[in-house]
């Protein structure tokens, strides 16, 4: 939950999550829809899908106990190098370097690494591993994370409080705040799409589930065209519409930002007397579905315009 998300935001979600599924076997037995519903609002929903898939594998193949070696951990769904190292160090006290963004910053400044990220990562991992002590690797891993989060911060690092202040090459050189160096960011072109707000005479709205893999995988959304950089005209967009109907463009645009691109959506609305098969829900039932933030924005905009 803490990947790309602050502790303040995560805390209430974590409390509710572990209260509902206090151990891996109960999470493995849960339905994915339940997990996604508990996760909604946190974003980066692949984390929830991977967490659920990981629990199922641990339950089915490992008797409910996590592997205690890097290779076994790395083979689990959703567990990469950092998470595998963190589990190995913290849960099993293995001599592994758990390198998150905070640890990257500490090590980069400690050795005054001026190479830009992400190209410097292999060298950084090597240096970080050399710092791990033979004993209490888990305590060391958590101390490094906390050091980066609270003392060796991106802006205005509190070097005077740092236990490594005398050994830090970047502090000695007076350029700690300039590190880590980052490669120049590329422009992120806006992607565009058309949303189809289709209602039945009883007021229910057509919804659909996204594919399990990919962005917002497994989440519920209002049907739309694919997202692309070139604009859509209505005639082309209607080839993706769920039914043939008299579609009306709603005023305004729904904007949303993903990590790698911004998105702009316009909405076409229609009512049908011959509803197609699919997921239908009245607005008062929307709370029962796992809507990502983007879908919530679409719903809010459509309902505000249509009254």
Q: Assign residue 172 the CATH number of its domain.
A: 1.10.340.30
Is residue 108 located within the same domain as residue 201? no
Is residue 291 located within the same domain as residue 152? no
Q: Is residue 221 situated within a structural domain?
A: yes
Q: Is residue 254 situated within a structural domain?
A: yes
Q: Which pLDDT score, from 0 to 100, does residue 74 have?
A: 96
Is residue 131 located within the same domain as residue 265? no
C-alpha 89: how far from its chain's center? 24
Is residue 142 located within the same domain as residue 209? no
Is residue 240 located within the same domain as residue 287? yes
Which residue range forms the structural domain that includes residue 32?
7-178
Q: For the chain, how many residues are written?
A: 307
C-alpha separations of 12 from 37, 97, 173, 222, 292 in Å = 14, 29, 41, 28, 18
C-alpha separations of 227 from 17, 169, 179, 208 in Å = 32, 46, 36, 16
Q: Which pLDDT score, from 0 to 100, does residue 151 have?
A: 97
Is residue 160 located within the same domain as residue 214? no
Helix (H) and strand (E) counts for the chain?
12, 7
Q: Which pLDDT score, from 0 to 100, does residue 66 have?
A: 97
pLDDT tens digits along 254-278: 999 998 899 999 999 999 999 999 9
Is residue 131 located within the same domain as residue 20? yes
Looking only at the bridges linking them, the beta strands covering 248-249 and 262-271 are: antiparallel
Q: Is residue 186 situated within a structural domain?
A: no
The CATH number of the domain holding residue 209 is: 3.90.79.10
Low-confidence ranges of the chain (pLDDT < 70): none
Q: Among 146, 178, 210, where does a domain finish? A: 178
Q: Which pLDDT score, from 0 to 100, does residue 248 have?
A: 96
Distance CA 301, CA 284 (A): 15
Distance CA 56, CA 257 (A): 32
Where does the chain have alpha helices with state H? Answer: 7-20, 24-29, 32-39, 46-61, 70-74, 81-92, 101-110, 121-131, 137-150, 169-173, 234-237, 293-306
pLDDT tens digits along 18-66: 999 999 999 999 999 999 999 988 888 889 999 999 999 999 999 999 9
Q: Among 108, 143, 178, where does a domain finish? A: 178
Q: Is residue 185 situated within a structural domain?
A: no
Q: Is residue 80 situated within a structural domain?
A: yes
DSSP for residue 117: B
Total structural domains in the chain? 2
Q: Among 133, 149, 178, where does a domain finish? A: 178
* DSSP H/E element including 199: strand 191-199
Is residue 212 located within the same domain as residue 116? no
Q: Is residue 1 situated within a structural domain?
A: no
Is residue 26 located within the same domain as residue 128? yes
C-alpha 60: how far from its chain's center? 26
Quickly count: other Cβ atoms within 10 Å of residue 256's Cβ.
Answer: 17
Q: How buried is 12 (Cβ within 10 angstroms: 0-12 exposed, 13-18 middle, 19+ buried)? A: exposed
Distance CA 191, CA 259 (A): 13
């Amino acid at each position: 939950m803490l990947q790309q998300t602050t502790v303040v935001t995560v805390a209430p979600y974590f409390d509710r999550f572990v209260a509902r599924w206090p151990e891996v076997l109960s999470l493995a037995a849960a339905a994915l829809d339940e997990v996604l519903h508990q996760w909604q609002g946190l974003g980066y929903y692949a984390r929830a899908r991977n967490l659920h898939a990981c629990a199922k594998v641990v339950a089915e193949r490992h008797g409910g106990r996590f592997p205690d070696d890097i290779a076994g951990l790395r083979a689990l769904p959703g567990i990469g190098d950092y998470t595998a190292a963190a589990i190995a160090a913290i849960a099993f006290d293995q001599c592994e370097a758990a390198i998150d963004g905070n640890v990257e910053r500490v090590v980069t400044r400690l050795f005054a690494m001026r190479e830009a990220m992400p190209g410097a990562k292999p060298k950084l991992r090597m240096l970080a591993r050399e710092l791990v002590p033979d004993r209490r690797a888990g305590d060391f891993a958590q101390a490094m994370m906390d050091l980066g989060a609270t003392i060796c911060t991106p802006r205005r690092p509190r070097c005077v409080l740092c236990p490594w202040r005398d050994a830090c090459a970047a502090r000695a050189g007076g350029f700690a705040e300039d590190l880590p160096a980052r490669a120049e960011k590329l422009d992120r072109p806006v992607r565009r799409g058309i949303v189809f707000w289709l209602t039945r005479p009883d007021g229910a709205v057509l919804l659909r589930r996204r594919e399990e893999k990919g962005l917002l995988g497994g989440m519920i959304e209002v049907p739309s065209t694919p997202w692309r950089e070139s604009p859509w005209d209505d005639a082309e967009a209607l080839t993706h519409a769920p039914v043939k109907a008299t579609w009306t463009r709603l005023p305004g645009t729904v904007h949303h930002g993903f990590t790698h691109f911004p998105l702009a959506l316009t909405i076409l609305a229609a009512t049908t007397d011959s509803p197609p098969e699919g997921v239908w829900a009245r607005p008062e039932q929307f709370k029962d579905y796992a809507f990502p933030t983007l879908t919530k924005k679409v719903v809010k905009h459509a309902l505000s315009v249509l009254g």
